[in-house]
Amino acid sequence: MLRLFTAIPIPFDVAATLARRQSGLPGARWRPAEALHVTLAFYGDVPERQADDLAAELARIPGGPFEIQLKGVGAFGDAHRSHTLWAGVDGGERLGILAGRCRAAAERAGIRTEPRVYRPHLTLAYLKTQTNPDRIGAWITGHNLLSSPPIPVDRFGLYSSVLSEGGSHYDLEREYPL
């Protein structure tokens, strides 16, 4: 079984700019530059045969280059606890279409995906349970004007993920040009 997802990698110059914002919040486990990406579809644990079918279906996705832009920051969680800090991603219609095609590729390969609405974002940090909500709010307020220059997107990748005590480790399994 492989734990798989498709994503757009973030260029290292953009990751370096984001690294300057990844501080000042006790309890945050900041994501390293090599782990920063925009998820298109999460597939979960997939048997190897279906992973091969998925890889073949992803290769059939039509497209063309487009641009995304990082805009603003926020947190996922519920009324009692935030668990993830993110940067917003504006990719327009093209990003949504690509994400939908990645989900459709999974369906054709016999892989079920979660039925939640696609909310493009880039995970900046995971938060420990005891992270002070007031400090989270202050961090978001201090960084909410985040706005990157346009980021060219000319490819996406199929990644495997291995969970460990220190966080997830990602490996690029296949790359697909747009």
User: Per residue in 96-143, pLDDT tens?
Assistant: 999 999 999 999 999 999 888 999 999 999 998 888 999 999 999 999
Closest to 74 in 3D by CA, of 146, 145, 147, 140: 140
pTM exceeding the 0.85 threshold for the entire prediction: yes
Q: Domains of the chain: which residue ranges?
A: 2-177
Between CA 152 and CA 62 the distance in angstroms is 17
- Judging by beta carbons within 10 Å of its beta carbon (0-12, 13-18, 19+), is residue 177 exposed, middle or buried? exposed
- 25-81 per-position pLDDT tens digit: 999 999 999 999 999 999 999 999 999 999 999 999 998 999 999 999 999 987 678
Which CATH homologous superfamily contains domain 2-177? Cyclic phosphodiesterase (3.90.1140.10)
Residue 136: predicted pLDDT = 94
The string of DSSP codes covering 96-162 is: HHHHHHHHHHHHHTT-----PPP--EEEEEEE-TT--HHHHHHHHHHHTT-BPPPEEE-EEEEEEEE
Residues facing residue 90 across a β-bridge: 69
The reported pLDDT for the residue numbered 63 is 86
The helix/strand/coil state of 56 is helix
Instruction: List, in sequence order, every residue forming a beta bridge with 40; answer none if it has no partner.
Output: none
